[in-house]
Amino acid sequence: MWRQFLRSLSPGVIVPQRWSASNCLSNGAFFSTRFTMSLEEAKRCAAYKAVDEYVKDNTVVGVGSGSTVVYAVHRIAERVKSVGLKLVCVPTSFQARQLIIEHGLTLGDLECNPRLDCAIDGADEVDAKMVLIKGGGGCLLQEKIVASCADRLVVIADYTKDSVKLGQQYRKGIPIEVAPMAYVPIKNKVEARFGGNLKLRMAVAKAGPVVTDNGNFILDWSFPDDKEHDWDAVNREIMMLPGVVDTGLFVGMATKAYFGQKDGTVTERTV
Ligand SMILES: O=C[C@H](O)[C@H](O)[C@H](O)COP(=O)(O)O
């Protein structure tokens, strides 16, 4: 019935055969291209499931950044209204802060809430061992700080982020946030030590480089993918370079990931 109705509105629309337990597809579908709808629905399903399973009453929740997190915030706001959850939400970026405020949620910070029950965040890529690449939207530093204060980091993503090995699907490289004055020496040192190449991320609607919420630059490291990397060791070594503020490598931080699939189901990974 629903499928017929949705198809009558837009013949190109793919209406998933299976609806997830969290009923994530019943709260509005996207009527654009086949791929966009599918990807957006996949993000939504993952986000809804994670919120339903991990966001509990009387807790402090870290709110990640990016397009998938938008769905998580919608769901958190729905549950605050419908079930009366009492939450404090700690943002990981300017974007997250705005989302919290726009949805009428209680805004917190690490000064008042140095310990969080869980953080829900997106990722650019997740490997088989749950090592993440984050920072495609430039928010890696605050995301890592907030995640480090949370009892649990829960990742929400669509199926394009689920990889065996980093670099398999996400081709933009590992973001490294750096103090502006140090971007050239850091670029040279990382290339000499590990290979690949680092590019200064440039802004799109502004001349010059992207400047993060923290006033820094981002170098995107296209690392050599023809060898195995010990990401924990790589991360530690890069972090030791003066001027490196943080990396988008999240090693040993996430314990749970939800991947929304094309058919509206959600797969899970736990470590
Ligand atoms: O800096 C941005 C964050 O790390 C995001 O969580 C990450 O880029 C994933 O974003 P999206 O959900 O838009 O793919």
CATH number at residue 216: 3.40.50.1360
Q: Is the pLDDT of residue 36 over 80?
A: no
Residue, of 21 and 248, whose pLDDT is higher: 248
Please tell me the distance from the alpha carbon of residue 64 to that of residue 94, in angstroms, as a whole number. 10
Adjacent-strand bridge partners of 241: none
DSSP 183-236: HHHHHHHHHHHH-SEEEEPBPSSSSSB---TTS-EEEEEE---SS---HHHHHH
**pLDDT band at residue 245 using 50, 70 and 90 as cut-offs:** very high
- Residue 267 located in a structural domain: no
- Residue 30 located in a structural domain: no
Q: Is the pLDDT of residue 28 over 70?
A: no
- Is residue 81 helix, strand or coil? helix
**pLDDT band at residue 251 using 50, 70 and 90 as cut-offs:** very high
pLDDT tens-digit series, residues 164-215: 999 999 999 999 999 999 999 999 999 999 999 999 999 999 999 999 999 9
- Residue 124 located in a structural domain: yes
Please tell me the distance from the alpha carbon of residue 213 to that of residue 140, in angstroms, as a whole number. 10
Contact 80, 74 (CB under 8 A): no
- Residue 12 located in a structural domain: no
CA of 139 from ligand 1 middle (Å) equals: 8
- Prediction ipTM score: 0.99
Predicted local distance difference test score (pLDDT) of residue 18 = 40
Nearest to 261 by CA among 13, 77, 17, 75: 17
Please tell me the distance from the alpha carbon of residue 85 to that of residue 88, in angstroms, as a whole number. 10
Does ligand 1 lie within 6 Å of residue 62's CB atom? Answer: no
Does ligand 1 lie within 6 Å of residue 135's CB atom? Answer: yes
The one catalytic residue among 40, 125, 143, 177: 143
Predicted local distance difference test score (pLDDT) of residue 219 = 99
- End-to-end Cα, the chain, rounded Å: 40
pLDDT tens-digit series, residues 104-135: 999 999 999 999 999 999 999 999 999 999 99
Predicted local distance difference test score (pLDDT) of residue 22 = 44
Q: Is the pLDDT of residue 32 over 50?
A: no
- Residue 22 located in a structural domain: no
**pLDDT band at residue 8 using 50, 70 and 90 as cut-offs:** very low
Q: Which atom of ligand 1 is nearest to the CA of 156?
A: 12
Please tell me the residue having the least CA distance from ligand 1 atom 6: 122
Q: pLDDT averaged over the chain?
A: 90
Domain containing 229 equals 39-260
Predicted local distance difference test score (pLDDT) of residue 37 = 62
Does ligand 1 lie within 6 Å of residue 253's CB atom? Answer: no
- Residue 127 located in a structural domain: yes
Instruction: Kindly calculate the radius of gyration of the chain based on its CA atoms and give it in whole angstroms.
Output: 19
- Residue 6 located in a structural domain: no
* Close Cβ partners of 4 (under 8 Å, ≥ 6 residues apart): none
Tokens 């314990």 belong to which residue? Answer: 255
Predicted local distance difference test score (pLDDT) of residue 38 = 86
CA of 12 from ligand 1 middle (Å) equals: 28
Annotated active-site residue 143? The verdict is: yes
Residue 254 to residues 54, 123, 134, 230, Cα–Cα distance (Å): 13, 10, 12, 17
Does ligand 1 lie within 6 Å of residue 143's CB atom? Answer: yes
- Residue 268 located in a structural domain: no
pLDDT tens-digit series, residues 50-96: 999 999 999 999 999 999 999 999 999 999 999 999 999 999 999 99
What's at 163, amino acid-wise?
A: S
The total number of structural domains that make up the chain: 1
Please tell me the distance from the alpha carbon of residue 27 to that of residue 16, in angstroms, as a whole number. 13
- Is residue 237 helix, strand or coil? helix
Q: Where are the beta strands (DSSP E) in 77-225?
A: 87-91, 118-121, 125-126, 132-133, 153-158, 174-178, 197-200, 217-222
* Close Cβ partners of 45 (under 8 Å, ≥ 6 residues apart): 20, 22, 24, 25, 260, 261, 264, 265, 266
- pTM of the prediction? 0.89
Please tell me the residue having the least CA distance from ligand 1 atom 7: 123
CA of 134 from ligand 1 middle (Å) equals: 6
